[in-house]
């Protein structure tokens, strides 16, 4: 019992004492200004509180370059990045973005060029600054320098790959799916409208959920295994004399059901939560997702402020929200901070976009 209590206390403390990991790895592709790369590190630390590091430059190979067009091939650059740098993405929330000053186009599209290219499934992208110093009549004053434009492309990659947001049809949003030229790029803002993650709220909820789940698990097994547990009430019908011969078997059957539920609860709630907490202590971070609520249930007798189970698009997976001051609404879009294995919601906000 002392070991169980000690383990519980350690797991409760883990979310508070976890170390900070790297969120973004930047890779210079070819000859890129070190000052420009350092600007990106500072910018995303200040803007989104994301930690980033600059890795050693990637040498452009002949296979990455199309001599007939004198441009890099976007898909080939991503393949080279994946080949040389995939080991850095063992943390399942980090992303990697290559930066190049060379012109680039996607071979799979009938485009003259592209500002960037990404593969969200491998959490890698590449951005090109080659055409970000272009100008046109009526361009917005003070927002057309190449660094500002580059930051918008990178912020879009961060929104989709790190925060798991979806592209949209808002021509003012950095997640706009129709950014095909410099004018569209200048019209979008860099604001992801990512809600601030209140550390006190999500840490408090993580501790409360940990206590609830771990003590609940211990309580279920304690009740089912303790021979002193009152499985049958003295005033109940099964205490009548006619059940004296079968009562021991009935008690065993009820204990078996209780223990079976405890095993089910352990593997569906306790073990995934413990795994999340251990990974948090190793530097992994909780994950941001955005989705629309398609279904909601309140398992505990309608006590939504204790526990809500919700499903979100686009994956349709079920997530649990404990100890909330307001109910989640079906049909509403939310930005959420979640634990990936236990699918526990730590923080949620209605999406602005």
Per residue in 295-324, pLDDT (tens digit) is: 898 887 888 888 898 888 766 788 888 888
Buried-state track 196-231, b at ≥16 Cβ within 10 A, e below 16: ebeeeebeebbbebbebbbeebbebbebbeeeeeeb
Q: How would residue 348 be classed by pLDDT, with cut points 50, 70 and 90? A: confident
Residue-wise pLDDT tens digits, 51-71:
999 999 999 999 999 999 999
Smallest CA-to-CA distance from 65 within 77, 57, 56 is with: 77
Tokens (6 digits) for 148: 């500002």
Angle at 156 between CA 148 and CA 56, to 5 degrees: 75
DSSP 242-293: GGTTTHHHHHHHHHHHHHHHHHHHIIIIIHHHHHHHHHHHTT---EEEEEEE
What's the mean pLDDT in 26-44? 95
Residue 321, sorted as left (phi over 0), alpha (psi -120 to 50) or beta, turns out to be: beta
Smallest CA-to-CA distance from 89 within 114, 46, 55 is with: 55
pLDDT of residue 351: 61
Tokens (6 digits) for 251: 């008690």
Report whether pLDDT(3) > 60.
no
Q: How would residue 143 be classed by pLDDT, with cut points 50, 70 and 90? A: low
User: Are the beta carbons of 84 and 55 closer than 8 angstroms?
Assistant: no
Q: How do strand 124-128 and strand 104-105 relate by DSSP bridges?
A: unpaired
Pick the range with the lowest mean pLDDT from 88-92, 159-163, 195-199.
Answer: 195-199
Report whether pLDDT(290) > 90.
no
**Packing angle between helix 34-48 and helix 146-157, nearest 10 degrees?**
60
Rounded to the nearest integer, the mean pLDDT of the chain is 84
Quick one: what percent of the chain has pLDDT higher than 70?
89
pLDDT of residue 206: 85
Report whether pLDDT(12) > 60.
no
The CA distance from 214 to 331, in Å, is: 32
Q: What are phi and psi of 285, to 5 degrees?
A: -110, 155
Residue-wise pLDDT tens digits, 196-221:
445 556 778 888 889 999 999 999 99
What's the mean pLDDT in 132-149? 82
pLDDT of residue 6: 39
Give first-to-last CA distance, the chain, whole Å.
50
The CA-based diameter of the chain, rounded to the nearest angstrom, is 96
Report whether pLDDT(289) > 90.
no
Tokens (6 digits) for 245: 């011969």
Tokens (6 digits) for 64: 């990455």
Domains and CATH numbers, the chain: 18-187 (3.40.390.10), 199-350 (no CATH)
Buried-state track 95-113, b at ≥16 Cβ within 10 A, e below 16: bbbbbbbbbbbbeeeeeeb
Smallest CA-to-CA distance from 155 within 22, 18, 43, 13 is with: 43
Quick check: helix, strand or coil at residue 230?
A: coil
């Amino acid at each position: 019992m002392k070991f169980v209590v000690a383990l519980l206390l350690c797991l409760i403390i883990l979310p508070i004492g976890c170390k900070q990991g790297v969120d973004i790895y930047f890779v210079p592709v070819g000859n890129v200004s070190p000052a420009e790369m350092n600007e990106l590190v500072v910018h995303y630390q200040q803007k989104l509180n994301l930690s980033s590091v600059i890795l050693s430059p990637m040498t452009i190979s002949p296979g990455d370059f199309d001599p007939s067009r004198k441009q890099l091939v976007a898909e080939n650059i991503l393949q080279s990045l994946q080949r040389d740098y995939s080991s850095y993405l063992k943390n399942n929330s980090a992303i990697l973005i290559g930066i190049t000053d060379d012109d680039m186009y996607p071979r799979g599209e009938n485009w003259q060029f592209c500002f960037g290219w990404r593969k969200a499934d491998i959490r890698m992208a590449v951005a090109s600054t080659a055409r970000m110093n272009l100008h046109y009549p009526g361009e917005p004053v003070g927002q057309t320098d190449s660094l500002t434009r580059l930051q918008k492309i990178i912020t879009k990659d961060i929104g989709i790959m790190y925060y798991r947001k979806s592209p949209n049809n808002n021509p003012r949003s950095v997640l706009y799916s129709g950014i095909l030229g410099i004018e569209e790029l200048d019209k979008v803002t860099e604001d992801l409208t990512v809600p601030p993650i209140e550390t006190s709220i999500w840490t408090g909820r993580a501790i409360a959920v940990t206590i609830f789940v771990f003590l609940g698990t211990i309580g279920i097994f304690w009740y089912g295994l303790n021979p002193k547990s009152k499985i049958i009430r003295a005033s109940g019908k099964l205490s009548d004399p006619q059940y004296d011969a079968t009562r021991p078997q009935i008690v065993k059957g009820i204990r078996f059901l209780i223990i079976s539920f405890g095993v089910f609860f352990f593997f569906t709630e306790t073990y995934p939560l413990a795994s999340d907490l251990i990974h948090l202590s190793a530097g992994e971070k909780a994950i941001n997702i955005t989705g629309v609520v398609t279904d909601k249930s309140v398992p505990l007798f309608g006590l939504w402020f204790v526990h809500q189970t919700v499903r979100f698009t686009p994956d349709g997976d079920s997530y649990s929200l404990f100890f909330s001051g307001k109910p989640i609404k079906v049909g509403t879009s939310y930005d959420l901070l979640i634990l990936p294995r236990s699918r526990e919601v730590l923080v949620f906000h209605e999406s602005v976009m």
